[in-house]
């Protein structure tokens, strides 16, 4: 089967590309390398069909979609802080780009699109943990864009019969996540600073909670969503199903590293939610999804990869 991974040079996308190759699929990758890295695909160059292009170009997306049966739409402009600084580009890539993917998939006769959504769509919704029946109340342009893209996915199933499944990721971490970006996620940023003997920087008081999810769980959720029956048009949480505060995360990483460095605290960032944890029962029921990796196992693997200075598989 020929599959396409948009954003396949990125952190999550590159893990997914490897998993698809390992199961014997023909894999195409569409990426403009704005946030993805060529080094993530170097060892796979002879095994994938790479189309370099921007999601905002229907022509490039359509070129990558030729003969594709299944699409994993991972491509996006990530980061809540980035979206606060530049909401227009976030919307163009994450909403307009998703529409291009859906149009090209429809026009080329693809069977299903599995879309990478985000827990940021919940914002400060009522109810905890977060479940898919709650009314989304996104706080950031990023969350708004992901919610709009989910709506497009559902509409394309209802109007055109293109099967779509939207997976709401919760704070994904793991190898190949760039700790150097100014928009770096908290896990690689903490690890990198502690490995250099520097204090981790926490925005806010550190009592905000997150459902930290190892990337291997997300890859498994995608593969299940691609093959499950009766899930077209669905929106599903993919997470660990628990939560840690950012202070607890810092302590957990330091325990693994054997360090005792007091964090530095900075003002809280605009658009960040206070609490986040997922109810994953719907994904368990509809997909058979259960997280195979807990947070501690994922942290150990991620730390080992950053220490080694190179990627490892999910």
The domains of the chain are located at 2-170+214-239+277-292
Biggest distance spanned by C-alpha atoms of the chain: 56
Q: How far is CA 88 from CA 82, 173, 182, in A?
A: 11, 26, 19
pLDDT of residue 271: 79
Report which of residues 272 and 233 the model is more confident about.
233
- Given pLDDT bands bounded at 50, 70 and 90, which one contains residue 311? very low
Taking the alpha carbons of 272, 255, 305, 116 in that order, is the dihedral positive or negative?
Answer: negative
d(CA 12, CA 5): 10
Tens digit of each residue's pLDDT (9 = 90 or more) over 70-123: 999 999 999 999 999 999 999 999 999 999 999 999 999 999 999 999 999 999
Tens digit of each residue's pLDDT (9 = 90 or more) over 59-78: 999 999 999 999 999 999 99
pLDDT of residue 312: 42
> What residues act catalytically?
142
pLDDT of residue 99: 98
At residue 31, does pLDDT exceed 90?
Answer: yes
Q: What is the mean pLDDT of residues 215-240?
A: 98
> Between vectors from CA 63 to CA 59 and to CA 64, what angle results, nearest 5°?
120
Which pair of structure tokens corresponds to residue 209?
């909670």
At residue 30, does pLDDT exceed 50?
Answer: yes
> The CATH number of 2-170+214-239+277-292 is which of 3.30.450.40, 3.40.50.1820, 1.25.60.10, 3.40.50.720?
3.40.50.720
pLDDT of residue 314: 43
Q: Say how many C-beta atoms besides its own lie within 10 A of residue 142's C-beta.
A: 26
Tens digit of each residue's pLDDT (9 = 90 or more) over 155-201: 999 999 999 999 999 999 999 998 887 667 899 999 999 999 999 99
| 71: region left, alpha or beta (phi > 0 left; psi from -120 to 50 alpha) | beta
Q: Using an 8 Å Cβ cutoff, are 302 and 188 in contact?
A: yes
């Amino acid at each position: 089967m020929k599959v396409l991974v948009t954003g396949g040079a990125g952190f999550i996308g590159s893990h997914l590309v490897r998993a698809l190759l390992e199961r014997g699929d023909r894999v195409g990758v569409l990426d403009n390398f704005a946030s993805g890295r060529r080094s993530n695909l170097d060892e796979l160059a002879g095994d994938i069909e790479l189309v370099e292009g921007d999601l905002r170009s229907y022509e490039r997306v359509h070129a990558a979609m030729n003969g594709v049966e299944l699409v994993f739409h991972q491509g996006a402009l990530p980061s809540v802080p980035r979206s606060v600084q530049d909401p227009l580009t976030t919307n163009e890539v994450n909403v307009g780009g998703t529409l291009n993917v859906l149009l090209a998939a429809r026009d080329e006769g693809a069977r299903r699109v599995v879309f990478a959504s985000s827990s940021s769509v919940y914002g400060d919704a009522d109810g905890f943990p977060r479940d898919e029946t709650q009314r989304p109340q996104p706080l950031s342009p990023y969350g708004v864009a992901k919610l709009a893209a989910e709506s497009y996915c559902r509409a394309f199933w209802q109007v055109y019969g293109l099967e779509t499944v939207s997976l709401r990721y919760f704070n994904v971490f793991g190898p190949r996540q760039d700790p150097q970006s100014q928009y770096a996620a908290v896990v690689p940023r903490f690890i990198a600073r502690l490995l250099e003997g520097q204090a981790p920087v926490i925005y806010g008081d550190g009592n905000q909670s997150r459902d930290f999810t190892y990337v291997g769980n997300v890859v498994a959720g995608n593969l299940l969503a691609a093959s499950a029956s009766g899930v077209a048009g669905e929106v599903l949480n993919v997470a660990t199903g628990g939560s840690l505060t950012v202070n607890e995360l810092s302590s957990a990483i330091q325990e693994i590293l054997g360090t005792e460095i007091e964090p530095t605290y900075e003002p809280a960032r605009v658009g960040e939610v206070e609490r986040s944890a997922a109810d994953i029962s719907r994904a368990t029921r509809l997909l058979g999804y259960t997280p195979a990796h807990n947070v501690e196992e994922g942290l150990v693997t991620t730390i080992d990869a950053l220490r080694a200075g190179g990627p490892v598989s999910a």
